[in-house]
Amino acid sequence: MDETGIRDFVRKRYAGIARQGGSCCSSAASCCGGVTPESAGRKIGYSEEELRSVPEGSNLGLGCGNPTALASLRKGETVMDLGSGAGFDCFLAAREVGPAGRVIGVDMTPEMLEKARENARAGGYGNVEFRLGEIEHLPAADASVDAVLSNCVINLSPTKEAVFAEAYRVLKPGGRVMISDIVLAGDLPEAVASSLAAYAGCIAGAVRKDEYLRLMEKAGFRDVRIVGENRFDAGEPGMEKYAEAVRSVSVFGTKP
């Protein structure tokens, strides 16, 4: 699979999700195997209050964790969400940083950006903005944000080292990253590893856990550690047999 083909396939897949209001697997199952976005959200750690507090349609059931809950965001901070989708985690982060803070969502899919901006207008989120861009080339200045979040997105990038380098670049010294993502605990069959559908479904693009941490450290992050880990239920038809090889993790790191 070449990088351009992967990005084009993923972009088209998620554009379709934005238009239909469904998930990465179907309109009735989320990336993490929930029946609805709400049930998927409960399964991966969002509270009922969090699920109710965001604009309708911002939770598409695409995550594999709750990075905002683990990031210890503070009032007045600037936060960037990589692969922000319809804005769910951005809106939760906005509550934490308050009116004096700022949240920037970045997504490469115009349809997702349109949906996120509509949600922001509907919810009156004056401290949230959404920018078009690839997470390997972030539309932000050096040392401009206090915290970087991402939820089940970096696994979709064919050049993860570039993503971590960019996250490091935009963070201020002392800034932190909190990522919920998919990693591998075992090998996938070649038919799955080379499948574009499995790639867009958050499986085929995942790397081994130790490799994921190594790439973060190579980018310059320190105190890199896993703060949560669970078995991942892909929700993709036929993927159940490979569930033991796939994990959802929450990973923390800091920029010195």
Q: Strand, coil or helix: what is 223?
A: strand
The tokens of 36 are what? 């609805």
What Rg, from alpha-carbon coordinates, does the chain have? Answer: 16
Mean pLDDT across the chain, nearest whole number?
88
pLDDT (mean) for 183-197: 80
Q: What is the number of domains present in the chain?
A: 1
Domain span holding position 108: 3-254
Per-residue confidence (pLDDT) for residue 33, from 0 to 100 = 42
In this structure, the strands spanning 128-132 and 171-184 are unpaired
pTM recorded for the entire structure:
0.90
**CATH number of residue 138's parent domain:** 3.40.50.150
Amino acid code (one letter) for 144 = S
- pLDDT tens digit sequence for 73-120: 999 999 999 999 999 999 999 999 999 999 999 999 999 999 999 999
- pLDDT tens digit sequence for 136-165: 999 999 999 999 999 999 999 999 999 999
